[in-house]
Amino acid sequence: MVRSTTILLLVAALTTCDVLLAEEVDNKKSRVTVLGLGAMGCAAAEHLAGQSEAFELTVWNRSPGKCPALPDTVTRASSAAAAVDSADVAIVMLTATKDVLDVVSEPAVAKALEAAGTTVVSLVSASIKEAEEQQRDLAAVLGGDKDRVLSGPMLCPPPGLRAGQCLTYRYIGSTENAFDGVGGDVLRALGPAQRLGESACGPGRSHRHTW
């Protein structure tokens, strides 16, 4: 009788541990960094900050003091390298593709991205050629790992993005693994997203918007 009771207690304890572990996994917040707090980057950061139950948000901008409406729960990093340290996803929302590569390829930033296995999401205004070249170059910075890169234009003005009311698809180029992973989850938190294939922007499309 004592042996049966002991076994039952052990089973109950193991079941409880399994439930607690499952809850811990379900409740784990994704660590997201937004690099660039211009009009679009600020709107994206404000929208993600409103989903604090799902995301632990860090932001960085070359000029400090941008996007003052962000709540105190958002971490403001002193450098791009510090911002991406331990990040699951880094959303890069800088003005030009060259700016994106300049920041991401900085040795300290590239090292931090590699150490954390961070997925890089680049959302900028770009032509087809620029977006495809950027997607390729970003993968090269990440050691050739295409599953950690998503790239495409943001087709939404800041007010719509800030309110989570973007009705226009953002056309994303990535592998299926990347789109189905944590990077895709963050994109879907920002609004509708459509993967057109492994090539950014998809065939025959060219998008440029200046909000």
Residue 14 lies in a domain: no
Q: What is the mean pLDDT of the chain?
A: 81
Residue 121 lies in a domain: yes
161 C-beta neighbours (distance < 10 Å), count: 25
Residue 1 binned pLDDT confidence (cut-offs 50, 70, 90): low
- Could you give the number of structural domains in the chain? 1
Most confident of 93-97, 128-132, 134-138, 196-200: 134-138
Q: pLDDT digits over 136-185, tens only?
A: 899 999 999 999 999 887 777 888 888 877 755 566 888 999 999 999 99
Residue 148 lies in a domain: yes
Q: How would you list the strands of the sheet with 170-173, edge to edge?
A: 75-76, 55-60, 30-35, 89-92, 119-123, 149-152, 170-173, 193-197
Residue 24 lies in a domain: no
CATH of the domain at 55: 3.40.50.720
Which SS3 state, helix, strand or coil, does residue 131 take? helix
Residue range 190-200: mean pLDDT, rounded? 78
Q: pLDDT digits over 17-52, tens only?
A: 444 333 444 468 999 999 999 999 999 999 999 999
Give the pLDDT score at 170: 62
Rounded to two decimals, the pTM is 0.81
